[in-house]
Structures are given as C-alpha cells and as structure tokens.
Amino acid sequence: EAQVTQNPRYLITVTGKKLTVTCSQNMNHEYMSWYRQDPGLGLRQIYYSMNVEVTDKGDVPEGYKVSRKEKRNFPLILESPSPNQTSLYFCASSLARDSGANVLTFGAGSRLTVL
Amino acid sequence: AQSVAQPEDQVNVAEGNPLTVKCTYSVSGNPYLFWYVQYPNRGLQFLLKYITGDNLVKGSYGFEAEFNKSQTSFHLKKPSALVSDSALYFCAVRAGYSSASKIIFGSGTRLSIRP
C-alpha cells in the first residue's frame, strides 16, 4: 500500500530533551515536507525537500532541523524542544517533476506535547 | 502575497441537504487549487484539484468545487450531505508551475452533518 509512515504517533516529552520524528514514504516521491497544525492556523510548512540532500526552510523553521540522506526518509529533529512546539505534525510527500499540480500524500500525524 | 481564506470555522448542515464550504484565494499568476479532508486521528486526504479548464471540478465522495476567477473563489460543494462527511476541510493554493513553489493551506472549516 502506498503510504507515508510517521513515528511516533504520540509523544510527551520535556523541555530540552532532543527528539526525532521519523517519516518514510514508499512511493519513490522526490518531494517531502513537514507541517505543523495548530488550531485556527491551518497547516504551516516547517521544512521541505525537493530530493536527496536538497532541503529548504518553510514558513516556521525555527527550532527544527531536517535531513534527507535517502529518498524515502525525511526525519524531523527537535534539538531542544520547547512548549511552543507542542503541536500536531504531519509529513507529506509528492512527485516533484514537472507540475505544481502534484497531490500531497500525508502521514497520519504525530501529536507532540512538550512540558 | 499568496494567501487562502476559509471564512467559516464551522458549517452545520442537515443530512440530505446541500452543503458549501467556502474558500477564497489570492495569488499572482495562475493558481493550482486543492481541497483536502481530515477525518479524526487521520492525516489529510486529497479530495479534488483545479489546474485549468472546466471551472467545475468533480472529486472523491461526491464532492465538487467551482473555480470562479473573477471572485477568486474555489468553494467546495455537495448536493446531498451525509453524516460521514463530517470532518475538517482544508483549501490550499499553489502559485507556480514548479512543485517547489509554496503551497498555502487555509485555516480549515469543520463540517458537521446532523442526522
């Protein structure tokens, strides 16, 4: 089944304790992206990647890091989490070639709470 | 600047009645417009998109959307609502041909269908 898999789905952590949210897709998509969803704000892009070793900042990159060493994986790293990073996180992927009309496939989401 | 507005936080409709979820956008150039749906504890799922051509676009689960260039709107519609349509709906716009061009999501509209 074609899918985007995120782990963990739920996580409660404390301020300053580094964590990684993994994202993996099995569709050979070039484009991958991380979003955070907050009430009343919709989805805001954190980082995106057009292909292996190519990443760029989205609208709200502060406090986050990403890497794209393999095409299928795009982990989101919070080096020193803070309470304002409590949110619902989504990873998404799509084809990248030729068309901005490509549809995003989303993971099921990771709900992160930082105490 | 590129933006998307969903003016209604919540829409309530009786089962069997028609429904409309509103979306307006602002981009420079030709827009690519999308609707996604989010069911509880799930990621976003693609419903439909407008690229070019016929202003009335048909999508999944009986939904359709009408592109209106003069009013810069892309309202989501369904002739007869089902209780199972209850979910959170997001409108999104991408300006530009490249997949690297930013996709902006609206703040979401919660659709509630009462039996």
Instruction: Tell me whether A95 touches chain B (CB under 8 Å).
Output: yes
| Contacts of B87 by beta carbon, 8 Å cutoff, 6+ apart | B37, B38, B39, B40, B110, B111
Indicate the helix (H) or strand (E) that contains B33: strand B31-38
CA A25 to chain centre: 12
Instruction: Read off the DSSP letter of residue A115.
Output: -
Q: Which residue of A has its CA nearest to B8?
A: A40
Cα distances (Å, whole numbers) of residue A72 to A25, A99, B73: 5, 20, 36
**What is the per-residue pLDDT across B58-85, written as a single tens digit (0 to 9) for each?**
999 999 999 999 999 999 999 999 999 9
Q: Which residue of B has its CA nearest to A57?
A: B102
Instruction: Tell me whether A10 touches chain B (CB under 8 Å).
Output: no
Inter-chain residue contact B43 with A43, CB threshold 8 Å: no
Nearest Cα of chain B lies from the Cα of A58 at a distance, in angstroms, of 8
DSSP E strand boundaries for B3-115: 3-5, 10-14, 19-21, 24-26, 31-38, 44-50, 56-58, 64-68, 73-78, 87-95, 103-105, 109-114
Q: Given A45, A50, A103, which is nearest B49 (Cβ)?
A: A103
CB atoms within 10 A of CB B52: 10
- Do residues B74 and B92 touch, judged by C-beta distance below 8 A? no
Instruction: Tell me whether A100 touches chain B (CB under 8 Å).
Output: yes
**What is the per-residue pLDDT across A73-107, written as a single tens digit (0 to 9) for each?**
999 999 999 999 999 999 999 987 656 678 899 99
Chain B residues 37-76 within an 8 A CB cutoff of chain A? 41-46, 49, 51
Residue A31's nearest CA partner among A93, A89, A79 is A93
List the Cα angle A11/A15/A17 in 5-degree steps: 70
**What is the per-residue pLDDT across B3-54, written as a single tens digit (0 to 9) for each?**
899 999 999 999 999 999 999 999 888 889 999 999 988 889 999 999 888 8
